[in-house]
Chains A and B, each alone.
Chain A
Amino acid sequence: MSLQSPLGKFLGHGSAKEGTEHWWSQRLTAVALVPLTLWFVFALLGMDSFEHAAVVAWISQPLHAVLLILLLMVTLHHSQLGLQVVVEDYVHSGWLKVPTLMTFKFLHVAVGVACIYSIIIISVGNAPGIAQ
């Protein structure tokens, strides 16, 4: 039994239509992650202290906040795409596969939002002229 409609069969696209989208996004995020990861590595190497005050001050710098948010967004997107392929390769039972994919996607978005929100409140809370 095929779930493909006769029209879909005739047009030859299946239901996906964009077969290269996933592959391309994986590469695009990979390319972006090369400089972002190198920046983060050098940033960690440049930190004199990992105590709370030092880290908060570091994240509060606008350039650091923006680059950190970019790093998180792109990494989480890349991670989601990668884990999706892993799940699709190894989880074959449909009842387990779809909920796993959904859970992973939700988790990635949730972690991303929580991190970005954290960076924003750190930045705003410590920005000059704003009462703590």
Chain B
Amino acid sequence: MPEIKRPLSPHLGVYKWEVANTLSIFHRAAGVFLSLGMLVLAAWIISAAMGQSTYDCVLGLLRGPLGIVLLFGLSAAVFFHLGNGIRHLVWDAGYGFDKHVARISGWFVFLASLVFTGLFWLGVKS
């Protein structure tokens, strides 16, 4: 079948870079990252069922430098995806579409996710 040359959309070049589109990209990236993060959660739960030695191995990896960076990234992704997800649900309900409202809610969600990530790591024990 011959390839039909249809016009492609969106033409990214014509758009002004904005909070809204940045957060949209972040939202998707965080979602994909969190899908990978489910493997971490799964490893934690499955290893707990497999016994002490397997669990200690997983816990050791998660407490290592790479593990902490990974967990920190995942926690930030959780708070951002959760906050921005609620923002999307509010849009789905029909509210908050005004340009300035969307801009403010975007910044709010972004900054709140940073604050909540910080608070989480201050609050979590060992």
Contacts and interface: CB of A to CB of B under 8 A. Distances in A.
A119 B38 contact: no
Interface string A103-132: 000000001001101110110000000000
A118 B45 contact: yes
A119 B123 contact: no
B83 to A, nearest CB: 10
B14 interface: no
B69 to A, nearest CB: 17
Interface string A25-58: 0010011011001100100110111111001100
Interface residue tally on B, bucketed by range: 20 to 34
Contacts of B123: 45
Contacts of A66: none
A79 B52 CA distance: 29
B26 interface: no
A59 B50 CA distance: 14
Interface residues of A, number: 36
Interface of A is mostly: helix
A77 to B, nearest CB: 11
A33 B85 CA distance: 10
B39 A111 contact: yes
Contact of B89 (A31, A82, A121): A31
Interface string B52-65: 10011001000000
Interface string A73-91: 0011001001100100000
Contacts of A41: 78, 120
B112 interface: no
Contacts of B88: 30
A88 to B, nearest CB: 13
